[in-house]
Copies of this chain bind each other. A is one copy, B any other.
Amino acid sequence: MHAVLDVPLSAPDVPTRLRAYLDDHAPTTPCLLIDLDVVRANYRAIRAALPEAAVFYAVKANPAPEVVRALVVEGSSFDVASTGEIDLCLAQGATPESLSYGNPIKKAADIAYAYGLGVRRFTFDSEGDLENLAVLAPGSRVSCRFIVDAPQSGTPFGRKFGCDPDMAIRLLARAADLGLSADGACFHVGSQHTDPAAWVSGIAEAARIARALGECGVPTRSLNLGGGFPTGYATPAPPLEVHAAAIRAAVAEHFDTAPELLIEPGRAVVATAGVIRSEVVLVSRKCDTDTHRWVYLDIGRYSGLAETENEYIAYRLLTAHPATPDGPVIIAGPTCDGDDVIYQHTSYSLPLALRAGDHVDILDAGAYTASYSSVSFNGFPPLPTLFVG
């Protein structure tokens, strides 16, 4: 499925460079092309923006072995969601000490498996998981995820993860009683969060949790700020420095002693490193007087564009045609499935000259795409990934 290809390094305009590569090599579409130089550059930019934080790359964003290997070389740590991701990271040279098992929903057998491989950092948000950790991962560093109110997330978590902050205090105290290292609190503002203020309220709450625990004789030492750092898709997003400044100010304001900071960026590391090349399968109108054309691509919600569910993520699209004259379109995927419509409420225009067989390039598509692909829905294969850099 994967192939590493060789091109010159460090072109300034990522989409231009990747698209030129795709033009030259003409791979079968659809495919995702990842520029590993951009992955590395994004990682370094995050380190530079928030040097006081340890970076745990959220593997789920793009679990390609090539991406993980590049980040191992950069010195990254890794946030893993499953034993499958643990195996993947270790196979690419990550050390067990660099892994944090961040999924609070874990089978007992999976905790034991991780511990057996040397993983010693875990996140929990419930009594049941905590009790399993005490038995199956004794002495490990654990942090408790609490629910933070972050309404501005592009893809909010709701209440699936975390617990009430007061329950987090109780559970962290119990973790210490059970012989675990009660590292501290953690929260996640939700993916693709564009408002820096979201982190501020979480940091204030985490400081309250730390103080309450300190008063009970349970000192904590770390604060895991999760991920959620946004990528600018069709709508620009604030640069990482804005979030970093807000985080730094909030930590200084609310904590008497600065905690060890951890962050778990995923999208911010890989999104801008990828371009999906797709092909137009069909352009049609539903009746002769329709103002909108339907443009059907050879990629859709079940073969990599899962984040277009409810049109959450509005990708930038590029064709080889000049931008004008263009006209309004509804964009859909190739399956016999009525839900496989990519954009019908978000306003998109594409060139009037667009025809079946033309390419449509989907920019900033390096995160949460290929690994979401269905195995075979409608008989279409998963999205393959190619690499440069």
Contact = CB atoms under 8 A, between A and B. Distances in A.
A309 to B, nearest CB: 7
A313 to B, nearest CB: 12
17 contacts: A60-B335, A60-B378, A81-B336, A82-B334, A84-B376, A85-B378, A88-B379, A103-B378, A107-B279, A107-B298, A107-B356, A128-B356, A156-B338, A161-B336, A163-B286, A306-B374, A373-B374
A230 interface: no
A68 to B, nearest CB: 11
A127 B376 CA distance: 28
A306 B337 CA distance: 12
Contacts of A346: none
A272 interface: no
A166 B156 CA distance: 44
Contact of A284 (B163, B282, B309, B374): B163
Contacts of A335: 60, 81, 103
A77 interface: no
Interface string A64-77: 00000000000000
A182 to B, nearest CB: 18
A131 B302 CA distance: 28
Interface in A31-81: 58-60, 63, 80-81
A374 B375 contact: yes
State how many copies of this chain the complex holds: 2
Given A83-B379, A102-B336, A162-B286, 10 more contacts: A60-B379, A82-B334, A82-B380, A84-B378, A84-B381, A105-B282, A107-B356, A129-B284, A371-B374, A372-B374
Given A336-B81, A341-B158, A284 B375 contact: no
User: Ordered nearest first, which 10 A-B pairs have the shortest CB separation?
Assistant: A84-B379, A157-B338, A126-B284, A164-B287, A82-B379, A85-B379, A81-B378, A81-B336, A105-B296, A375-B382
A268 interface: no
A103 B336 CA distance: 6
A277 to B, nearest CB: 15
A167 interface: yes
A55 B164 CA distance: 54
A357 B109 CA distance: 10
A248 interface: no
A2 interface: no
A379 B281 CA distance: 31
Contacts of A80: 379
A103 B338 CA distance: 12
B381 A377 contact: no
A146 to B, nearest CB: 10
Interface in A204-240: none
Contact of A81 (B88, B161, B370, B379): B379
B379 A372 contact: no
A309 B340 CA distance: 12
A125 interface: yes
